Chain A
């Protein structure tokens, strides 16, 4: 029981950045702007958060800086793809490279620690939040350990991420803005005919994408970690992109997928060196490959065709 709670707890921690990035991509791609640059935005935000938090000592300013940095990168993508009608894939790749190089160079120049930021003190991080009732419920079987071990004691960004998924569903399927956003990704000409600004809607989607990526990056460097390390996003943006396709661009499925990926990662960490029945101690290599093998099997065999938004990837050109 205790081991299971610990495993699920670790799952939640590991899937949070994936979920934030995945939802970020969802907004952008639902509006018809493909975003390969999630990885770069995460990285840029992680650096901005750690640098600001270490200079000011305030994690909130750090999170704010992360959102600002990520939104700035999102706007670069937006200007390139929406206003200048550039290729969305090329712009996204450019943002990844830009973030990778820029964070390392600025880190070198500002902190002279090989691109790292100095380790952050506890006060400069978004630490664990103890939810009420964890004391009261401690004696209750099952619910007690689940509440105190699994639900309580996470960073505020974790709760934000898991609330963002249902919120995204509500925004996209129950509000006027959401309907228009989805429409602009499927058939921008129709939206244009209705007298709405295609570019305006897409810019808003890209900015929401920047906001969520910013929170994801801040989580990496000032909540989960304590400082920035070059390339600390380590491909999470790309995994989030895979999760988005896996989830067929739907928010609740995206949450489930990110939790699955997080769970595989967490179990890989915990299974290592544990004696398994029949095969004895699990070899490190096999355990580490397991998430990828399972992903390929699931993708190939079980989820069926994933259909992206119809107008995704194509810049909108008003016919004159």
Chain B
């Protein structure tokens, strides 16, 4: 009895000690952790980890590009492990810092850093975008659909290409208007411009506008709701931003990626290398909840579930823009 107690006490003490020493950290991208989208998904994952394990984590919101490297190095030097960076823009900074701290475990979302101590997490955004494209084309009726991207980079074109593919699979002659907000990091946080872009597409006949633009997307969804059209959210579930005016959201489970990175590191199940989370792995998907139930008809639901099954089974292969920098749709 006593022995069992001692063992239990030692175990508890050890795990408490381990919990104290285990210091995870996360570095967000320019949109900030409350962008209601990409970065907020990461924040949600980290918060979930904190709620479930009681382990505190540190986070940092960068204000400009030069802080990426500083933030990663400060965390690594301060003994934080693992350090998760959100966003492809961290890639070059991480390459440098991860090489300097080979004992620290790093993870990066949306890019590949080829070092043994780095886990690179990629998503098949084109598959999720294909599904929301199917829904958009059906919800648009006789009208067209639009897409507003954030920064003009291959990753965002990948969203756009999958979306076009999905929309055209339902209506081959539908037009998909595409706009990018900008070419710098500021394009992730410019709701006024996003709103104007969405309005310009609505003026041209778009009934549904999908955004992949982080904080800029708030303006896109707002403009769509103001004009009485439908928006489509991205990354996090944004259906609740304008209930009844957001058709659905393309879920990119950055929260799961962050949660897994933290818990794998804590439970000694860490593995480096690249991992791709697609529809089959539950890494991407579309959101259905009380806010958009009334917008999704049975026919739409059936069509999107059919498309989803075909993608998982490999019967439909959604083109990945990043494979050849071209969109065949």
Q: What sequence of 0s and 1s flags, for each residue 268-289 of chain A, a beta carbon within 8 Å of any chain B beta carbon? A: 0110110000000000110010
Cβ of A234 under 8 Å from chain B = yes
Cβ–Cβ < 8 Å partners of A230 in chain B: 32
- If A225-B219, A273-B180 are given as contacts, then 5 extra A-B residue pairs at C-beta distance below 8 Å, sorted by A number, are A3-B203, A10-B199, A13-B196, A227-B218, A230-B32
Cβ of B55 under 8 Å from chain A = no
Contact of A119 among B33, B199, B218 (CB under 8 A): B218
Nearest A residue to B218 by beta-carbon distance?
A119
Binding site for B on A (CB under 8 A): 2-3, 6, 10, 13-14, 113-116, 119, 122, 220, 224-227, 229-230, 232, 234, 266, 269-270, 272-273, 284-285, 288
A10 and B189 form a contact (CB under 8 A): no
Binding site for A on B (CB under 8 A): 32-35, 61, 152, 177-180, 182-183, 186, 189-193, 195-197, 199-200, 203-204, 215, 218-219, 222, 226, 241
Cβ–Cβ < 8 Å partners of B178 in chain A: 273
22 contacts between A and B (CB under 8 A): A2-B203, A3-B204, A10-B199, A14-B196, A113-B34, A114-B34, A114-B35, A115-B32, A116-B34, A225-B192, A225-B195, A225-B219, A229-B189, A229-B215, A232-B192, A234-B190, A269-B193, A269-B197, A270-B200, A273-B177, A284-B180, A288-B182
Given A10-B200, A114-B32, check contact A288 B195 (CB 8 Å): no
Complex: how many Å from CA A55 to CA B257? 36
Complex: how many Å from CA A122 to CA B242? 10
Complex: how many Å from CA A220 to CA B189? 15
Closest beta carbon of chain B to A17's beta carbon, Å = 9
Cβ–Cβ < 8 Å partners of A115 in chain B: 32
Cβ–Cβ < 8 Å partners of B195 in chain A: 224-225
Closest beta carbon of chain A to B287's beta carbon, Å = 18
Complex: how many Å from CA A213 to CA B219? 23
A269 and B203 form a contact (CB under 8 A): no
Cβ–Cβ < 8 Å partners of B152 in chain A: 284
Contact of B179 among A225, A229, A273 (CB under 8 A): A273
A119 and B200 form a contact (CB under 8 A): no
Closest beta carbon of chain A to B239's beta carbon, Å = 14
A269 and B179 form a contact (CB under 8 A): yes
B179 and A272 form a contact (CB under 8 A): yes
Complex: how many Å from CA A225 to CA B186? 17
Closest beta carbon of chain B to A121's beta carbon, Å = 10
B191 and A229 form a contact (CB under 8 A): yes
B183 and A284 form a contact (CB under 8 A): yes
Given A119-B241, A272-B180, check contact A226 B222 (CB 8 Å): yes
Contact of B196 among A10, A273, A284 (CB under 8 A): A10
Cβ–Cβ < 8 Å partners of B197 in chain A: 269, 272
Cβ–Cβ < 8 Å partners of B177 in chain A: 273
Closest beta carbon of chain A to B23's beta carbon, Å = 23
Closest beta carbon of chain B to A192's beta carbon, Å = 44
Closest beta carbon of chain B to A52's beta carbon, Å = 19
Complex: how many Å from CA A285 to CA B153? 12
10 smallest beta-carbon distances between A and B, as pairs: A114-B34, A6-B203, A113-B34, A114-B32, A226-B222, A270-B200, A284-B152, A269-B196, A272-B179, A284-B180
Complex: how many Å from CA A3 to CA B215? 28
Closest beta carbon of chain B to A280's beta carbon, Å = 15
Cβ–Cβ < 8 Å partners of B35 in chain A: 114
Complex: how many Å from CA A272 to CA B34? 29
Nearest B residue to A112 by beta-carbon distance?
B34
Cβ–Cβ < 8 Å partners of B186 in chain A: 234
Nearest B residue to A5 by beta-carbon distance?
B203
A6 and B200 form a contact (CB under 8 A): yes
Complex: how many Å from CA A3 to CA B319? 33
Closest beta carbon of chain B to A109's beta carbon, Å = 14
Complex: how many Å from CA A89 to CA B91? 40
Closest beta carbon of chain A to B67's beta carbon, Å = 15
Complex: how many Å from CA A287 to CA B186? 16
